[in-house]
Structure 1
């Protein structure tokens, strides 16, 4: 989902993961540390449990994204919030996430991966408690930005859809306060779980804790496992990073980097301004505006098809046309079904396409010396777009429901042309071949 995605470097997790092979886009460094063969059942348990604790941040991310969809009407009525106040509440999550993403690399480098996860969990719990006890917009927004910061630090592109679906579904049967309390659960489990998992061997090696590094690696691989080869590989990798020169943001605007930077920034713009965050944050109001007898039905169906189907353009265009028909009282009995079908088609398509593929492409197009700076720039564009869309959605819907979806479909259509004309084919090609093709 719109979310989809995350993903950040020593400046932000995005760029750190971009410095690694392609698989890093869909799993974290800590998860990678946890992978590998083990000669003991005990170490397999450590690997599995460590991975589970690490990806709870992704489930929490999904819970935060899905929180606003089923509770908009109830929370606005209970706290007497205006559209502007609720829009700020919904969108401010992305501001917190952006700050968390930008600072996460420095935090993890300074205090370690385990403590960084623990800090994120504490912030998440604090944020959800603040939302639960909110009597007005101020505490509500403070809680939302804290949860956003927490997921910006800890989340990876795993389990987000599951967490979002959970929030969608549960929000149809419980109050907004109860739903806020359920957001604490993954944070609490993560906070308790980190007590029983080892610190990241990569971080321990990076800060020079050789004895702890050996112990952590043995705990993950098994006491009788031969870790010498893997330990040497990790040490070599860290040494290489230390001696590697890094490009700054200004270096990205050199002529030789213009093509890959245009691709990276362009894909993020089309990903976000296609409307994903607005649609996913405020599903309940979309279905209510369309006249669906029960918005709950639409949300439950969306949970069932989160990861399939095609056509973000067709989905938005279908919903836009349905709202236009409603404006002119044409075939009004078909409007709810057409809007539901369009939104289902859009979300399913986004989940398997524009929501994740841009991150994959960007791991392959940037030369190694600009991956850090380029990742930071792309990350900022991503989060700014997420905020802009989620904040303006309710205002756009008040202006024109059909116009809103036609606008999003226009961005989706432009994305098709952009990908066809600008983005290089990456299938079956090495990184060197891809980058060479962009210079020719």
Structure 2
């Protein structure tokens, strides 16, 4: 009997883990599309700029237009997800990704291209909140860090895929014997169209698979649909733990003000809100998207040809993936704060070194690329995954979507600013001082981390209670 009992529990646990992995991976495809959509533009900038004869300001608008869409998506996603649910809002994101990817293959004017980029940006904005939030709400405490970090891994894989396909399509355009027709236009004559268009394949897959995942049990419980929530938790964690979780969730929700923004301004929660916003902004002001968007241009300034620069971007993307896998492996044992401190230290060191190399014209050879790789690896160990994990953990259930909206809104404001001003910084300040500015933005992070608890191994409800004690 005892053996049968343990065999049954093991079978339940295995099935629960498989179910959890399925829904976490499905939600993480939003991160893949986020990464691809963000990075694909790096290979198209020069081509689109030449075709539509863009000046520096319009070049910046082409890059940052999707980020404006992201901001719009962020503004609606939190409120929408708290009202209609995480799943339905994610489905909307998948639809917008698909429409944008297909639309970016066919525009005849710069304005049309910008319109479809904005649509894709709205999808990115929604996914950037809902994918990590949803994964956080379905994951057990002891696995939550690595499950949410899957989202950052998906972003890194998406970035790598964009770099790889950009380089591959550029080479294909130079070597293919397609002479005419639509295929000639999108693969040879105007290859940037196929760079954007290939995103439609994972976008449509994301949209369809979202119909097969459950709603967030914590959102269901916040709407007094506790029986539905319990059924989902039982599939993930088993009967006993599901009962405990439901009791804990109901107790935490009972202490909250029902779905109001006022919670965010309570003394303890206010600190969490402030910390989340600062970390989100600094994750962008430290320069990661300057590398993603303008990496080829920076590498060209270091003496590489465009094809070599795009190849360098592929290598950067590969390093991002490897470093993120390390973080997934260690985040639930090392903890969030330790990884973030280590990553930011590596970023500050590498950014300063790159600035010095450009300042003294020591950019020949592979030195710049090596330290860019160190910077990207450091970002993927710390800021990349850890910020998304923290933002998905530290807010109360009833307003988690709205709170993440504010923090992620700040992140995308930072991203839009970087996308717009980096061409100006490179032309006016030069590459050296551009990197020095990014290095300076690393300095506040250790001081900010002193204001938050280490959240590894804590349930979402236990984390919430820590902030409430400070009220």
With the length of structure 2 as denominator, give the TM-score of the two structures.
0.69
8 A Cα contact 2:77 2:401, kept in partner: no
Secondary structure in structure 2 of the residue aligned to 1:245: coil
8 A Cα contact 1:72 1:285, kept in partner: no
Q: 1:344 maps to what in 2? A: 373
1:66 aligns to 2:39 (yes or no):
yes
Q: 2:383 maps to what in 1? A: 354
Q: Deviations over 1:340-379 (max 9, x none)?
A: 1222121111111223334555677778999777645433
Q: Distance in 2 between matches of 1:211 and 1:426?
A: 32
Q: 1:134 maps to what in 2? A: 107
Q: 2:4 maps to what in 1? A: none
Q: 1:189 maps to what in 2? A: 205
Aligned length: 393
- For residues 190 and 429 of structure 1, do their structure 2 counterparts lie closer, same or farther at Cα, with a shift above 3 Å needed? closer
8 A Cα contact 2:355 2:431, kept in partner: yes
Deviates more, 1:425-434 or 1:127-136: 425-434
Q: Deviations over 1:249-276 (max 9, x none)?
A: 7886777777655544433333221122
Q: Distance in 2 between matches of 1:364 and 1:226?
A: 22
1:315 aligns to 2:350 (yes or no):
yes
Q: Distance in 2 between matches of 1:398 and 1:201?
A: 50
Q: Deviations over 1:32-55 (max 9, x none)?
A: xxxx97649988765554343222
CA-CA distance at 1:57 after TM superposition:
0.9
- For residues 365 and 396 of structure 1, do their structure 2 counterparts lie closer, same or farther at Cα, with a shift above 3 Å needed? same
| Alignment map for 1:366-405 (pairs within 5 Å) | 375-399=404-428, 400-405=430-435
Q: 1:3 maps to what in 2? A: none
- For residues 37 and 213 of structure 1, do their structure 2 counterparts lie closer, same or farther at Cα, with a shift above 3 Å needed? farther
Q: Distance in 2 between matches of 1:234 and 1:433?
A: 15
- For residues 83 and 242 of structure 1, do their structure 2 counterparts lie closer, same or farther at Cα, with a shift above 3 Å needed? farther
- For residues 207 and 377 of structure 1, do their structure 2 counterparts lie closer, same or farther at Cα, with a shift above 3 Å needed? closer
Q: 1:84 maps to what in 2? A: 57
Q: 2:246 maps to what in 1? A: 234
| Alignment map for 1:36-435 (pairs within 5 Å) | 39=12, 47-154=20-127, 155-156=131-132, 157-158=151-152, 159-174=154-169, 175-203=191-219, 220=235, 227=239, 230=242, 233-234=245-246, 237-238=249-250, 240-241=252-253, 244-245=256-257, 262-293=274-305, 294-306=308-320, 307-308=322-323, 311-326=346-361, 331=362, 334-335=363-364, 337-360=366-389, 375-399=404-428, 400-412=430-442, 414-415=443-444, 418-419=447-448, 422-423=450-451, 426=454
Unaligned runs of 5+ in 2: 1-8, 133-150, 170-190, 324-342
Say which structure is richer in helix.
2
- For residues 300 and 370 of structure 1, do their structure 2 counterparts lie closer, same or farther at Cα, with a shift above 3 Å needed? closer
8 A Cα contact 2:79 2:401, kept in partner: no
- For residues 415 and 78 of structure 1, do their structure 2 counterparts lie closer, same or farther at Cα, with a shift above 3 Å needed? same
Q: Distance in 2 between matches of 1:185 and 1:367?
A: 36
Root mean square deviation, CA, Å: 4.1
8 A Cα contact 1:201 1:216, kept in partner: yes
Unaligned runs of 5+ in 1: 1-35
Deviates more, 1:403-412 or 1:47-56: 47-56
Deviates more, 1:259-268 or 1:336-345: 259-268
Q: Distance in 2 between matches of 1:423 and 1:40?
A: 36
- For residues 132 and 340 of structure 1, do their structure 2 counterparts lie closer, same or farther at Cα, with a shift above 3 Å needed? same
8 A Cα contact 1:283 1:299, kept in partner: yes
CA-CA distance at 1:207 after TM superposition:
5.1
Secondary structure in structure 1 of the residue aligned to 2:54: coil
Q: Deviations over 1:265-292 (max 9, x none)?
A: 4333332211222221221111112212
8 A Cα contact 1:246 1:372, kept in partner: no
Q: Distance in 2 between matches of 1:66 and 1:389?
A: 14
Q: Deviations over 1:412-436 (max 9, x none)?
A: 2x2366358x546738897689959
